[in-house]
Chain A
Amino acid sequence: MKLLFKKATLVVLIVFLSLGIHWTQRKIDQYHVIRFVDKSPVFLPKGEVLKWMSMGYRGLIADWLWIRTVLYFGRRAMDEDNPYLIYASGRGELEDELESVAQQPVPFDSTNDFALQIRNELSHIWQGSQYQGLIDYIYPMLERVTTVDPHFIFPYVFGGVYILMETGEFDEASALLEKGYQANPHCWEFPFYLGWIYWIYRGNMEKTTAYLSEAVGKEKCPQYVRDLLIGISKDPERSQFTRLYLESLLQSNDNPEIREQLIEILNRLNQSSTEERVY
């Protein structure tokens, strides 16, 4: 009887503790979204130090850093629970609201702390939604990933092309691709993407042609890179080919934001007869 009581007490205790832990976990999870509002600057050591610290497990550390980067990108740019995305999806309304706050004579006087707080927070959120925290975090993280594992190709392309599309930060993107090219001179991907971003984001046809020519000379370079180079070289003004390329991109893309950007670039291209800069 005594033993049975002891066992029952233990079971009750275990169940009680498990429920308590579960309840606490649920409470903590309620603050889940708030955590991501922070800018989450990179507190990790520099890439060279991480490389030194990872000893024989550089690949593993690079993968871990890479997955952290992807998860951060997902939370900032894609996750439906992401506060930035929620504001970004209602961008027009937020903009109107900010503007109306700015135009109101003195509905909030400068001594009104609450009003100031709301205004500051709104502008903070607006600025955040423009870049979604990508520049402050993703590029430093990618710098670390590629220093720990310089032959991990995809992070270079991710930062050099995908993140560039989100942020328009050309210098960061091209520096990352250049770094990848130096570490992997045999890969055709780097000169191809460098040529591509100089073409689309800078309209610098000399650099584009030079990089694409380098890419074509590499082993395993696919046919479409050669076709692109031939297309650009054949078009004397080079704008006609650019226009055709962008139009085909527009036709094949369903994303309204990217479509909007492409239409804007095409309009600019059509307005200018002697186009040097496409974007």
Chain B
Amino acid sequence: MRIWAVALNTFKETIRNRVLINILIFAIGLILLTLIIGDWSIYQQAKVIKDFGLSAMSIFGLLIAIFIGIRLMVQELEQKTIYVIASKPINRWEIILGKVLGLSITLMINIVFMSIALWGTELIQEGQIDLGLAPAILLITVEILLIVCFAIFFSSFISSTLSAIFTIVVFTIGHLSGFLRDYIEIYPDKGFHWLLKGIYYIVPNLEILNLKMAVVEHLEQPPHAVLFGLLYGMGYILLLLLLTIIIFSKRDLK
């Protein structure tokens, strides 16, 4: 119940920050794009709409996740408003969970509306909707939630600028994990490959959560790709939440 109160408060705060305005930008952008690219892409309009829609969904979500996620914690700490919450009969882990939950609700509402806008555009332009995009949208949501957790994790013990940098670094390395693995396999004798291996296993491989190209081009997927993606992403989310709670609980708020 107390978690829910924090979550609701966080959700209201993000709404007050006009975060949801990006849905409008997304919808207008998508419609403009379809008007412009109709002739430019030569018979590839459907593919471009889907690629653009899914990528924009992911980019908008990630930007909100990084910047709002970091601000949620840092603002409370810097403006000392955390004292007001911490002095109430509430555990610190409940604050963390509430904040993550509140921001996750905002992000999921974003994704739901952006998906509706994407499918609506598809329906108008192509006369049909491709529900096959759903697995990619699901995993985009997991990726965004994972990035939220990283942002809140870093911001629980370092400054907002460094938190943003580290979260972006995690996102970048996460998408380059496949190349790290390939590099280790191609050059197994390189002296520092233990370091690369370490990075590969510590930083989440975000390409596992990336089905955008596969669903757009109807490529064959490994069995249970979505299920394993979900398990993998949720596993990291839980681990990060746990670490954040431990760090935040030990933090001296005086």
Contacts and interface: CB of A to CB of B under 8 A. Distances in A.
Interface string B205-225: 011001011001101000000
Residue with the greatest number of chain B CB neighbours at <10 A, chosen from A52, A57, A71: A57
Contacts, number: 58
14 contacts: A52-B176, A56-B212, A57-B55, A57-B58, A57-B59, A59-B212, A59-B216, A60-B52, A67-B37, A67-B40, A151-B217, A151-B219, A152-B47, A152-B217
Contacts of B54: 59
Interface string A144-169: 00000101101000100000000000
Given A56-B212, A71-B40, A151-B217, A63 B175 contact: no
Could you tell me the dominant secondary structure of chain B's interface residues? helix
Given A55-B175, A60-B52, A151-B219, 6 more contacts: A59-B47, A59-B50, A59-B55, A63-B52, A151-B213, A158-B42
- Size bin of chain A's contact surface: 10 to 19
A59 B41 contact: no
Interface in A52-70: 52, 55-60, 62-63, 66-67, 70
A95 to B, nearest CB: 31
B48 A149 contact: no
Nearest to A53: B176
A146 to B, nearest CB: 13
B43 interface: yes
A42 B23 CA distance: 35
Interface of B: 37, 40-44, 47-48, 50-52, 54-55, 58-59, 172, 175-176, 179, 206-207, 210, 212-213, 216-217, 219
Contact of A63 (B47, B176, B207): B47
Contacts of B175: 55-56
B164 to A, nearest CB: 17
Contact of B44 (A57, A58, A66, A71): A66
Contacts of A62: 51
Contacts of B44: 63, 66, 154
Nearest 6 A/B pairs, CB to CB: A55-B175, A59-B51, A60-B55, A59-B213, A56-B210, A151-B217
Grouping DSSP codes into helix (H, G, I), strand (E, B) and loop, the A interface class, with mixed when no group exceeds half, is: helix
A55 B176 contact: yes
A55 B207 CA distance: 8
B146 to A, nearest CB: 13
Nearest to A68: B40
A191 B59 CA distance: 38
A55 B52 CA distance: 15
Given A58-B213, A154-B43, A158-B42, A67 B172 contact: no
A217 to B, nearest CB: 19
Nearest to B172: A55
A52 B178 CA distance: 10
Nearest to B52: A60
Given A57-B55, A152-B47, A63 B42 contact: no
Interface in A239-256: none
B41 A67 contact: yes
B43 to A, nearest CB: 6
